[in-house]
Amino acid sequence: MNPHSILIIIPAFNEEASIANVIASVRRCVPGADIVVINDGSTDRTRSIAEGLGVVVLNHIYNLGIGATMQTGYKYAVAGGYDLAVQFDGDGQHPAEQIKDIIRPVLDGKADLVVGSRFLGEGNYRPSIARGAGMAFFSRLVSAILKERLTDTTSGFRAAGRECINYFSSRYPDDYPEVEALVLLHKKGFSIMEVPVTMTERAGGRSSITPLRSVYYMVKVLLAILVDLIKKT
Amino acid sequence: MYLFQAFAIIGSLLLFFIVIDFIRRGLLKEKYSVLWLACALVITVLSLKKELLDTVAGYIGIAYPPSFLFLVAFIFVLLINLHFSVVISIFHEKNKVLAQEITLVKNALKEAGIDTAGGAKKDDKGLPNG
């Protein structure tokens, strides 16, 4: 095992349009890292494309949802004894060039979890008004809970250190996990840090959050956060 | 004896024996039958002992005693449903852990050179299992 073994966890559900490019860009930008694709029961060619590229592909026997998919990645990271794990979406919206930026603070011991924020620095990410309002709301709420300013709590572009990997392997929220995971980490005393990133438009697939689901999203995440605050962990 | 009383006695006894029969035939696990049996017993006792029903109903201010029976039955249905939600949540979590373990074990088998049944064939058709 090299001194800093890094695992890039790529969750993928029906990402045949983008998965090959995502894997290629990760390999180009972080050649020393291992890649694992967690195929969450895709019904398209995601699995065969990823396996054809020679990366490790973990196939869920049926669709378990994004939270369980990330957690499978963290469990794999624990089993492999990795020092650092990066969450990197399979839809191509996360910038592989900036993986090194989000892993740096973890390797330097500055934070247990680093979140790539689209709203720090001069990113050109412009969400719709409704979506932006929701994102701002959760950022404010989580900032208030953590007593620390966070700007992009819904970003799924993250790097986690060893302790964090261990914790996530045993406990990770089910659906829409990003915001809740931050609250859980904070409750457990982990340190969280943001670094600015620029994200591109999605290369393929659709966002899991449709207008109809956004109301459910808000209610679910809000409830989960409030429950997490009173729940024994 | 009022007709409603006979109806309540027959209904609750029927429920009691159906639950017992389900347990006997292995259709219902004992741990999931406790609330059902408690429900049947309480309603049976309350409908057999009309004085008891009248007293309790009067004590909590229900003018028409039979509606207290409905209240008791409703509370039991609520409790049983809540119990189901808890059980489903536990199963959900266990099921997820199980599926994740299968995923990791299958990968370990693959790395050890052991092909799990039908994996390659199904993969070509792009089916999710394998």
Spatial neighbors of B111 by CB under 8 A, at least 6 apart, are none
Chain A nearest CA to B75, separation (Å) = 25
Cβ contacts of A45 on chain B, cutoff 8 Å: 126
Size of interface A-B (CB pairs under 8 A): 54
Averaged pLDDT of chain A: 89
Note the pLDDT tens digit of each residue in A181-213: 999 999 999 999 999 998 865 544 556 667 777
Across the interface, whether the CB atoms of A59 and B103 are under 8 A apart is answered yes
Instruction: Give the pLDDT mean for A152-179.
Output: 93
Instruction: Collect all residues from B whose CB is shorter than 8 A from any CB in A.
Output: 96, 99-100, 102-104, 106-107, 123-124, 126-130
Q: What is the pLDDT of residue A215?
A: 83
Q: Residue A65 above 80 pLDDT?
A: yes
How far is CA A18 from each of CA A50, A69, A136, A193, A230, rounded to the nearest angstrom? 10, 18, 28, 29, 40
Please write the tens of the pLDDT for every residue from B47-83. 999 899 999 999 999 999 889 999 999 999 999 999 9
Average pLDDT of the residues in B35-41: 94
| pTM assigned to the model | 0.84
Q: To the nearest whole angstrom, how far is the Cα of B85 from the nearest Cα of chain A?
A: 16
Mean of pLDDT values over A225-232 = 82
Which residue(s) pair with A193 in the sheet?
Answer: A114
Copy the structure tokens of residue B96. Answer: 């997820």
pLDDT in tens, A68-119: 999 999 999 999 999 999 999 998 889 999 999 999 999 999 999 999 998 8
The residue-averaged pLDDT of A52-68 equals: 94
Q: Given a cut of 60, is residue B130 above it in pLDDT? A: no
Which residue is associated with the tokens 């199963």?
B91
Question: What is the mean pLDDT of the segment spanning B90-105?
Answer: 96
Q: According to the model, what pLDDT value does residue B117 have?
A: 60
Q: What is the total count of domains within chain A?
A: 1
Alpha-carbon span A184 to A167, nearest angstrom: 10
Q: Measured between CB atoms, which of A41, A43, A64 is closest to B96?
A: A64
Place of tokens 């701002």: A136
pLDDT at position B113 is: 86
CA separation for the pair A172, B45 (Å, rounded): 47
Give the structural domain span for A81. 6-230
A-chain residues near B129 (CB < 8 A): 61-62
Residue among A44, A45, A61 minimizing CB distance to B103: A61
pLDDT in tens, B4-19: 889 889 999 999 999 9
Distance from CA of B97 to the nearest CA of A (A): 9
Q: How far is CA A147 from CA A86, A103, A154, A178, A183, in A?
A: 25, 23, 17, 18, 11
Give percent above pLDDT 90 in chain A: 67
Nearest to A44 among B104, B126, B130 (CB): B126
CB contact under 8 A, B124 and A63: no
Burial of A184 (0-12, 13-18, 19+ CB in 10 A): buried
List of residues 6+ apart from A139 with CB closer than 8 A: A119, A150, A151, A152, A153
Give tens-digit pLDDT for A116-131. 998 887 667 777 787 8
Cα–Cα nearest to A70, from A82, A83, A58, A61: A58
Mean pLDDT of B21-29: 93
Query: Cβ contact (<8 Å) for B102 and A61?
Result: yes
* Domain harbouring A82, CATH code: 3.90.550.10
Q: How far apart are the CA of A54 and the nearest CA of chain B, in angstroms? A: 12
Rounded to the nearest angstrom, the minimum Cα separation between B78 and chain A is: 22
Report the alpha-carbon angle B102-B104-B110, nearest 5: 100
pLDDT computed for residue B119 by the predictor: 47
Q: What is the mean pLDDT of chain B?
A: 87
Q: Treating both helix axes as pointing N-terminal to C-terminal, what angle do A19-29 and A99-107 enclose, rounded to 10 degrees?
A: 50
Q: Starting at the edge strand that comes first in sequence, how are the strands of the sheet with A84-87 ordered?
A: A56-59, A34-39, A6-12, A84-87, A158-161, A113-117, A192-196
Label residue B121 by pLDDT band (50, 70, 90).
very low
Q: How confident is the model over B93-105, as a mean pLDDT?
A: 96
Domain ranges of chain B: 3-82
| Residue A103, domain member (yes or no) | yes
Of the candidates B96, B100, B126, the beta carbon closest to that of A48 is on B126
Chain B residues whose beta carbon lies within 8 Å of the beta carbon of residue A47: 123, 126, 130
Q: Which of A45, A51, A62 sits opposite B99 (nearest CB)?
A: A62
Question: Could you tell me if residue A132 is inside a domain?
Answer: yes
DSSP letters for B39-101: HHHHHHHHHH-HHHHHHHHHHTT-SSHHHHHHHHHHHHHHHHHHHHHHHHHHHHHHHHHHHHH
Which residue in chain A has the smallest CA separation from B111?
A56
Instruction: Report the C-alpha gap between A191 and A147 in whole angstroms.
Output: 12
Mean pLDDT of A38-51: 94
The stretch A140-148 carries a mean pLDDT of 91
Q: What is the pLDDT of residue A199?
A: 82
Residue A121 region by backbone torsions, left for phi larger than 0, else alpha for psi between -120 and 50, else beta: left
